[in-house]
Structure 1
Amino acid sequence: MTSQHADSVSSHRYDDLADIQQTLARYAVAMTQGDTDRVLAAFTPDGSYSAFGDTYPLDEFPALIAAAPKGLFMTGTPIIEFAEDGETATGIQTLCFVEHAAHHMRIGYYNDTYRRTADGWRLHTRAMTFIRRSGAHDPGRPHAFEQTRT
C-alpha cells in the first residue's frame, strides 16, 4: 500500500468515527432534553433497543422513553470496530445517568451496532448493561413499562 493510499484510508476512517460519535452525541443530548424524535433519528428505521430483559423495536421506543426517569445522560467516547465491508461497525459506550430530581445515578454501558446509511452512520441496535453496586453487570429489571406492554 502506498503512503498516499494509507493516508486516504485513515482520513476516511476518521470521518466515519466522527460521524458515529456525533450520532451518539445527538442521542445522549436528545435523551437529556426529552426529544424523542431526535432520539429515533439516531437509529436506522429497523433499529432496536434492548434492556430490561427484552428488545424493543423503534415503534415501541417512544413509550419506553416516556416511562423512563428523566435526567442527564453523560456518555463516554465509544470504542468502535469497523467490519471489513466498511458499511457496518460495532461499539461499546459508557453511560452515567443522573436522575434530575433526586440526582440518583445509574451507570453502565451500551453495546451497539452501527450501519452506514444515506444520511450517515446510525445506530442499528443498542443494548443497555447496568453496573450494580455489587459489581454485577445485567440488562436491568423490568419496570412500569413492562406492565403496560402488550
Structure 2
Amino acid sequence: MSTDDLVAIQQLLARYAVTITQGDIDGLLQVFTPDGTYSAFGDTYPLDEFPALVAAAPKGLFLTGTAAVEVSGDTATGTQPLCFVDHETHHMRIGYYTDTYTRTEAGWRLKTRAMTFIRRSGAHDSGIPHAYKPTEA
C-alpha cells in the first residue's frame, strides 16, 4: 500500500465531504465512478439519482474522520466515520460510510458508498426504509 494512494483516497473523501456540505452537486458527482452507487434507507441508488437524493436530504455540515483504508492494486475498501450536523437545528446524525474505491484514469474514485447510522439505542442500521423515493419518470 503506497502513501501516495492513501493520500489520494483521503483527498477524494475530503472532496466528498466539502462538496456535499457546500451543495456542489457537480463536484460531488466527480468523486464517484460513472457507475458508482450510494446505499442508505434500505435501497441502493445509482449515480443518476444522487442529485435528487441529495436535494431531498437535510442540509448541513458533513464532518468526516480519517478513513481506515485497505488498498489492493487498483481497488480499495474503507470505512469512514461521519457526524452530520443539520444547519437549521444543529441536531446530529452519526454513523459511518463503508466504501469501495477504484483507481481510474482520473485518479481514485468511489465505486460504492453505504451509510450506516448509529442510533441512540446503540443499534447500527442503514436508515428508515424508503425514506427517499425517486420520482417516477
> What's the TM-score once normalised by structure 2's chain length?
0.96
Q: CA deviation at 1:104?
A: 0.5
Identity %: 70
Is 2:40 the counterpart of 1:40? no
Residue 45 (structure 2) pairs with residue 62 (structure 1):
no
CA distance in 1, matches of 2:31, 2:18: 11
Question: Larger Cα Rg: Structure 1 or Structure 2?
Answer: 1
What residue in structure 2 maps to residue 14 of structure 1? 3
Q: Distance in 2 between matches of 1:121 and 1:70?
A: 26
Q: Which residue of 2 aligns with 1:126?
A: 113
Counterparts of 2:113 and 2:86, CA distance in 1: 21
Match of 2:42 among 35, 50, 53: 53
Match of 2:102 in 1: 115
Show the counterpart of 1:74.
63
Code of the residue aligned with 1:20 in structure 2: it is I
The answer for the alignment partner of 2:91 in structure 1 is 104
Moved over 6 A (4+): none
Pairwise CA distance, 1:82: 1.3
Q: 1: CA distance between counterparts of 2:11 and 2:26?
A: 16
CA distance in 2, matches of 1:149, 1:120: 32
**What is the CA RMSD across the aligned residues, in angstroms?**
1.0
Matched residue type, 2:125:
D
| Uncovered stretches (5+) of structure 2, i.e. residues with no partner | none
Distance 1:52 1:37 in 2: 23
CA shift digits 1:105-130 (9 cap, x unpaired): 00000000000011110000000000
Greater relative contact order, per chain length (Cα 8 Å cut-off, separation 6+): 2
Q: For 1:44-93, what per-residue CA distance to the aligned partner results, in whole angstroms no more than 9, with x for missing partners?
A: 0110000000000000000000000000000000000112xx10000000
CA distance in 2, matches of 1:29, 1:81: 23
Q: Of Structure 1 and Structure 2, which has the larger fraction of its residues in strand?
A: 2
Q: What count of residue pairs does the alignment treat as equivalent? A: 135
Deviation at 1:28, TM superposition (A): 0.2
Structure 1 residue ranges without an equivalent (≥5):
1-9
Q: How far, CA to CA, are the matches of 2:135 and 2:115 in structure 1?
A: 19
